[in-house]
Amino acid sequence: MSVVFHNLNDKFIYDERGWVANPFRLPNFPQRFGHLHAVSLEAGAVRGNHLHRTCREWLFIFGGRYSIFWREGDEVKRRIMEKEEYFTIEIPPGIVHAVRNEGESVIYLLSYQDADLDTVKADTEYYAIL
């Protein structure tokens, strides 16, 4: 099991106002609602450095250049994403992952998790890979 990159580049609709896309309209995406949140990352900032024990997470990151890091066995993998690349990144349970803003301006991240947010029995465990 590994991280899956769903290419969205051909699913964007552009007009004079900008663009619109549904980053979570994907095959096998859960039909019930879980937990959705948005965050910003300042230039050079890192988010993540954790894993989810039981839930699956989908990330949609936009606004600039960034790197996604994840652990497969003993190896940390990295993929650099350019500002014009739009992907939904699917992260299975148990995969340590992190995102770093590689640009000079703020970028944004939407995260969907297929489990409800539980602040008592947190599904997230901290693991630094950066």
Neighbours of 80 (CB within 10 A): 11
Residue 102 domain-assigned (yes or no): yes
Stretches where the chain sits below pLDDT 50 are none
Predicted local distance difference test score (pLDDT) of residue 128: 92
Predicted local distance difference test score (pLDDT) of residue 120: 58
Decide: residue 47, CB within 10 A, 0-12 exposed, 13-18 middle, 19+ buried. buried
Predicted local distance difference test score (pLDDT) of residue 26: 81
Residue 20 domain-assigned (yes or no): no
Residue 23 domain-assigned (yes or no): no
Give the number of domains in the chain: 1
Q: Helix, strand, coil % (nearest 5) of the chain?
A: 0, 50, 50
Residue 21 domain-assigned (yes or no): no
> 51: domain range?
4-11+34-126
Q: Which two tokens stand for residue 117?
A: 């947010």
Q: Could you say which DSSP state residue 108 is in?
A: E
CATH number of the domain where residue 41 is located: 2.60.120.10
